[in-house]
Amino acid sequence: MDKLAISGFVLALFAVAGGFMLEGGGLSTLLHLPAFIIVVGGTLGAVMLQTPFSQFKLGLQMLPWVVRPADLPMQQTVGRIVDWGNAARTNGFLSLESAALEETDPFLHRGLNLLVDGVESKVLQDTLDAELTLERERWLRGARIFDAMGGYSPTIGIVGAVLGLIQAMSNISDPDLLGLGIATAFVATIYGVGFANLVFIPVGNKLKSIVHQRTLYHELIVEGLVSISMGENPRNIERKLAAYRLS
């Protein structure tokens, strides 16, 4: 559980709502269903229009990473790679076959299978690098849907404001309906800017940061397996991979 992400979100909401209340405002005035429907519904609709279904689905599947990112066992993986290097130097690549069969990480599993099959070091690196590049781009496309939401949300908020003012002007002789239209106009603007800067853009940036960390982890795996393939000394492999643990 990422406590910093949760704390940041709570702090942002508390700062905005608390500052408004200190000025004498009431929280109930910020809870406006029509404005919420206009901004959130309009933003989602615009993003769904521009995004392929698979990409949109992936972005939603990645959303839990913001508060519960996947564990990346850098230290443990370095130790395992060093052990595999020792085994390969002593008994050959076929001695890693059982490790490949038992491996649950898909990327590691494929890399070990290539190593056991005895592919050349360059072929091994090119294959894993290509897979890593495609995987990274796929994850980034999922994260970018939140960047798109952050871009559309303020504009949709302005649309909501204009709609609220139209409603207000059409009922200018009725003070109650006039006030309701003006409320929709201002709250829709707040929702548009607030959702963009407090939710959508931070979520998109957080997911891209997590993708970067996952990419580093897989680069560590590629570097380690290629080094084993080239027959490097396990101690040299460990020293080489230590830089990734500090990234």
pLDDT in tens, 89-116: 888 888 888 888 888 888 999 999 998 8
Q: What is the mean pLDDT of residues 153-169?
A: 88
23 and 64 both lie in a single domain:
no
Number of domains making up the chain: 2
Please indicate, yes or no, whether residues 68 and 14 belong to a single structural domain of this protein: no
Query: Are 95 and 202 members of one domain?
Result: yes
Query: Cα-flanking dihedrals φ and ψ of residue 65, to 5°?
Result: -60, -25
Q: Which of 5-14, 32-41, 68-77, 193-202 has the highest mean pLDDT?
A: 193-202
* Pair 76, 118 in one domain: yes
Same domain assignment for residues 98 and 153: yes
* Same domain assignment for residues 77 and 89: yes
Element (H, E) at 182: helix 175-195
**Domain assignment of residue 8, given as a range:** 1-31
Cα–Cα distances in Å, from 47 out to 18, 53, 62?
31, 10, 16
Residue-level pLDDT at 28: 76
CA–CA–CA angle 54, 2, 219 (5° rounding)? 60
Residue bearing tokens 């309906």: 177
Name residue 247's amino acid: S
Mean pLDDT of 193-216: 94
List the structure tokens of 41.
Answer: 């519904």
Same domain, 153 and 220: yes
pLDDT above 70 as % of the chain:
96
- Whether residues 67 and 6 share a domain: the answer is no
160 shares a domain with 73 = yes
Say yes or no to pLDDT of 166 above 90. Answer: no
Interatomic CA distance for residues 29 and 181, integer angstroms: 13
Average pLDDT score over residue span 118-136: 92
Percentage of the chain lying above the pLDDT 90 cut:
52
- Please report the pLDDT score of residue 245 as a whole number: 64
Same domain, 201 and 237: yes
- The reply to whether 138 and 195 lie within a common domain is yes
Mark whether 13 and 81 lie in a shared domain: no
